[in-house]
Homo-oligomer: A and B are copies of this chain.
Amino acid sequence: MAAKSSKRSQRTGASVPEPRGEPPLSLDRIVATAVELLDAEGLDGLKMRRLADRLGSGVMSLYWHVDNKEDVFDLALDSVLEYRGTIGSQDWRADVLHMLEDWRASMLRHPWSASLLPRRALGPNILARLELLSKTLSGAGVADADLNVAIWSLWNYVMGATITRSSFDLSDADRASGQQRVEHHYPTIERSGLLLDDDWDGVFRKGLDFLLDGLAPR
């Protein structure tokens, strides 16, 4: 991450008239198309050749805009994590909830992002969210000494919830065949309906509410 040095110049503000037919290659188009491809085919579905096909260009043309395939992953991931919401209403708690739920929703909309996140460095959009979270909590009266624990607790919770959820979606196919295994060997799990409960949103929200209750008085 940080400063990859492809030969590409700084993006222009798009002052070109942009004619008919195939639009020209650009970083933005490449990243947007990569996201489409990832959404449609998953992590392993992103091949440089396929990406080029979708863009109507030659494979090697991509490499003028992008350093390598890892770069594409980084850019796609960060583009998906951008936050467009606002902050600074009267109700700091609503601000936090909105931002965190939006984050979770963004990642679930692009399930590959959860798989990618643990092995990529922190992109600017992730840092921006952390900054937003810090600022809001700080403004809400959380003491400086407690700030780090509060931020990380929330962060970890959301991150973990999202990744767990993605992981479960992945194993849905195995669920049927694995069900017997669960029923016979894990009685407590079975009794609690832990793996069957489909109300992920509700559980997520309850835990988050609970966490916030503890972190700062309503």
Contacts and interface: CB of A to CB of B under 8 A. Distances in A.
Interface in A147-197: 147-149, 151-153, 155-161, 163-164, 166-168, 170-171, 174, 177-178, 181-182, 185-189, 192-194, 197
Interface string A111-140: 000110111111010011011001100100
A127 B189 CA distance: 9
Contacts of A189: 127, 130-131, 134
Nearest to A132: B188
A1 B207 contact: no
Given A1-B174, A159-B163, A177-B3, A114 B118 contact: yes
Contacts of A206: 149
A203 interface: yes
Q: Most chain-B CB neighbours within 10 Å: which of A118, A128, A158, A189?
A: A118
Given A159-B160, A159-B163, A161-B152, A170 B121 contact: yes
Interface residues of A, number: 63
A158 to B, nearest CB: 7
B203 A135 contact: no
Contacts of A118: 114-115, 117-118, 163, 166-167
Interface of A: 1-3, 43, 114-115, 117-122, 124, 127-128, 130-131, 134-135, 138, 144, 147-149, 151-153, 155-161, 163-164, 166-168, 170-171, 174, 177-178, 181-182, 185-189, 192-194, 197, 203-204, 206-207, 210-211, 213-214
